[in-house]
Structure 1
Amino acid sequence: MAWLFQDSPTFKEPWRVIPWGNRNEELDYVRNFKPRSGVKHLRVLLLGLPGSGKSAFIDSVDTTLRRRVSARALAATNYDRSFTQEYRSYKIQTETPGTFYPLVFCDTMGIEKGSGRGVDVENIKLILKGHVKEGFKLLPGSKPTGSNYIDTPTINDKVHVLVCVVPATTVNLMEKEPVIKIKEVREEARDLGIPQIAILTKVDEACPEVKKDLKKVYNSKRIQKQV
């Protein structure tokens, strides 16, 4: 009977209020969004460890906006090293054939522990500044040269938003070295005036109550501790 005295895994009231019923209104905002003059699209760079859910997040956004299941950004589960190797970008087509939302999501090799593994921080800094051409393989120790290096990047080559992707299942287990690398990239983005946000992924795996009902994510005590 000890379970009768255990604390509930959820709060009675959410610690963050989300208007779940405004789906159409939020989709309309994205459809009608227009970047400032001179910017064709917002370039959003996803940064995180291997398996953090960067590629899966891109597919989720694509699926939501196109209203059909998408799996364009290849992702791997239970993969201890970076699955994505190239600097790749993904446009999302609107309901009108041949037109796209003014958003470009960019994926890279993940941040890893140790030298010779994962993407080099200096290459991420070059991506932020728009110097790296899409398709360049971000293998450890590689540097963009020749046709892979953009000498005079335009505003459309540069990153406009940096998104740090962190899995709720391992946020407390992240090793020191990758965290230091991510911090270095964030500081570079700060100095460049690039806005930053963080996304907590795999919330359903981190909390059984959220797995039962995703709308309970902001009632979950476990998730709140990760924020």
Structure 2
Amino acid sequence: DEAFIISLTEKRDSAPKRLRALLGNVKLSLLYKASVHGYKASAFHQRCDRRGPTLLVAYNRSGYIFGGYTSVDYARSGQHIIDREAFLFSFQGKIPVCIKVNSGHYARLDNAGGPNFGQQLYFCYKNQPVVLNHRGNAFSVNMATMYGNDTQLTECEVYKVKQSNSAINKQWRNVLWTANRRAQLMGLIRNHKTLVTSVSRVRILIIGPVGAGKSSFFNSINSIFMGRITSKAMSGSAGTSLTTQFRTYPVVDHHEGRLLPFVLCDTMGLEEQSGAGLDIEDISSILQGHIPDRYKFNPMAPFQHNERKASRPASLQEKIHCVVYVIDATKISLMSDKLEEKLASIRRSIPQIVLMTKVDEACPLVQKDLQSLYVSSYIKSKVQEVSSRLGVPVSCVLPVKNYSQELELELNCDVLLLTALQ
């Protein structure tokens, strides 16, 4: 009977295999299949109670694949369950989008009914092949996007999730998470010398969508070399760009009391609609070294430099030497074609790097332990997706975690940020 069920699952869809990317190196074994065992809550609990972490995968008539993960046993306890590792997912193309449970909210109610997440999303509701959106705040998710407003289920499966020992600690990039490595990276950056003597500091332009973490990256780098958390550049999570000026940020090495050999140039965020966000023509002016520090962007009209300045080409010292795209790891699959076109319109003659931020929010494995970053197959798939969509080599896509809520510096964060900067 069990072999029959598993064989049906394998023929039906490769979703469980793809979902392993969200959970790291795990084994998935089928516990419950509604089309075989019935859509009754009693059948679900009989097969899934006290089986440890589980992954629920639902399918509807419109072809959506969605569900959720919980690390806490089902037990019909009647309790509200706190589970910081819980998340919902939905397939948007080939890569699943992961939605973490919001801070301060319960992940689910452990009652005798069908499985629910946050008392917000109910599967096999009232013993029927349907999903119910009860509305709630536990998960910030658009249900129409998640399952296309099609509440009729064609299947509901639950898998036991077991950590696999075979590939643990097998990193796909080698990183030394040590204090010595942090010190070595800081030394390499402090002592960097440009090949051209007329350029004393490398000018690095940071661009990307609103809220991706451009200003936060500068604040994080500044914090490392100050030896404490700082917030010099305005950052936040507003829907429109908090940065309205072109800002050039030199960084002072607190240890040695001198400027470091680079300048981070912050810009207004890219937005999809016209008349909002950074203008493509402004990017060209920045690259050519024409836009001065503290220039206030006008989304309705690009920068106009006067004829006298235009007659004198900017020096190599004034131009941009490297472009860094900052992309939110949790929103890569949602990136629109328009935004992709804006990024692609930038000249290809300048060295380019991609910073993939918020990796801890994108992958539960990484949120639990940042050192799992280069073990996570989900993060690896995101790196490959960014590389493909933006046309940069995989080796130029660097996952980072900016400082945002922390009150003190943390070794693993520092190593990632300094590796990206170096």
Instruction: State the TM-score, normalized to the length of structure 1.
Output: 0.90
Unpaired runs of at least 5, structure 2? 1-50, 55-158, 384-422
Residue equivalent to 1:38: 198
Q: In the TM superposition, what are the counterparts of 1:4-153 in structure 2 within 5 Å?
A: 5-6=160-161, 8=163, 12=168, 13-21=170-178, 22-36=181-195, 37-77=197-237, 79-94=238-253, 95-97=255-257, 99-145=258-304, 150-151=309-310, 152-153=313-314
User: Identity over the aligned pairs, expressed in percent?
Assistant: 33
Q: Which protein has the larger Cα radius of gyration, Structure 1 or Structure 2?
A: 2
Q: Deviations over 1:52-79 (max 9, x none)?
A: 00000111111112211111111012x1
User: Does the 8 Å contact 2:246/2:294 carry over to 1?
Assistant: yes
Question: How far did 1:206 drift?
Answer: 0.8
Question: How far did 1:121 drift?
Answer: 0.4
Residues 1:195 and 2:355 aligned together: no
Q: Greater relative contact order: 1 or 2 (C-alpha under 8 angstroms, separation 6 or more)? A: 1
Question: How far did 1:141 drift?
Answer: 2.4
Question: 1:17–1:145: structure 2 CA closer, same or farther, 3 Å change rule?
Answer: same
Question: 1:7–1:124: structure 2 CA closer, same or farther, 3 Å change rule?
Answer: farther
Q: In the alignment, which of 304, 313, 318 is matched to residue 157 of structure 1?
A: 318
Residue equivalent to 1:207: 363
Instruction: State the SS of the aligned residue for 1:87.
Output: strand
Q: Deviations over 1:68-95 (max 9, x none)?
A: 1111111012x11111111101111123
Residues 1:179 and 2:335 aligned together: no
Report the Cα distance in structure 1 between the residues aligned to 2:226 and 2:366, rounded to whole angstroms.
25
Report the Cα distance in structure 1 between the residues aligned to 2:164 and 2:295, rounded to whole angstroms.
45
User: Does the 8 Å contact 2:203/2:265 carry over to 1?
Assistant: yes
Question: How far did 1:116 drift?
Answer: 0.5
Report the Cα distance in structure 2 between the residues aligned to 1:92 and 1:182, rounded to whole angstroms.
26
Report the Cα distance in structure 1 between the residues aligned to 2:301 and 2:164, rounded to whole angstroms.
47
Question: How far did 1:221 drift?
Answer: 2.2
Question: How far did 1:154 drift?
Answer: 1.1
Higher share in strand: 2
Opposite residue 195 of structure 1, the aligned amino acid is P
Residue equivalent to 2:95: none
Report the Cα distance in structure 1 between the residues aligned to 2:219 and 2:207, rounded to whole angstroms.
15
Instruction: State the SS of the aligned residue for 2:326.
Output: strand
Opposite residue 121 of structure 1, the aligned amino acid is I
Report the Cα distance in structure 2 between the residues aligned to 1:146 and 1:18, rounded to whole angstroms.
45
Question: How far did 1:207 drift?
Answer: 1.2
Report the Cα distance in structure 1 between the residues aligned to 2:301 and 2:246, rounded to whole angstroms.
12
Opposite residue 180 of structure 1, the aligned amino acid is E
User: Does the 8 Å contact 1:9/1:209 carry over to 2?
Assistant: no
Report the Cα distance in structure 2 between the residues aligned to 1:221 and 1:159, rounded to whole angstroms.
34
Report the Cα distance in structure 2 between the residues aligned to 1:9 and 1:113, rounded to whole angstroms.
42
User: Does the 8 Å contact 1:133/1:150 carry over to 2?
Assistant: no
Instruction: State the SS of the aligned residue for 1:34.
Output: coil
User: Does the 8 Å contact 2:202/2:262 carry over to 1?
Assistant: yes
User: Does the 8 Å contact 2:279/2:302 carry over to 1?
Assistant: no
Unpaired runs of at least 5, structure 1? none
Question: 1:86–1:7: structure 2 CA closer, same or farther, 3 Å change rule?
Answer: farther
Opposite residue 320 of structure 2, the aligned amino acid is V
Report the Cα distance in structure 1 between the residues aligned to 2:377 and 2:163, rounded to whole angstroms.
9
Residue equivalent to 2:142: none
Task: Answer with 9-18 or 166-175: which moved more.
Answer: 9-18
Structure 1 vs Structure 2 CA RMSD = 2.1
User: Does the 8 Å contact 1:52/1:165 carry over to 2?
Assistant: yes
Opposite residue 196 of structure 1, the aligned amino acid is Q
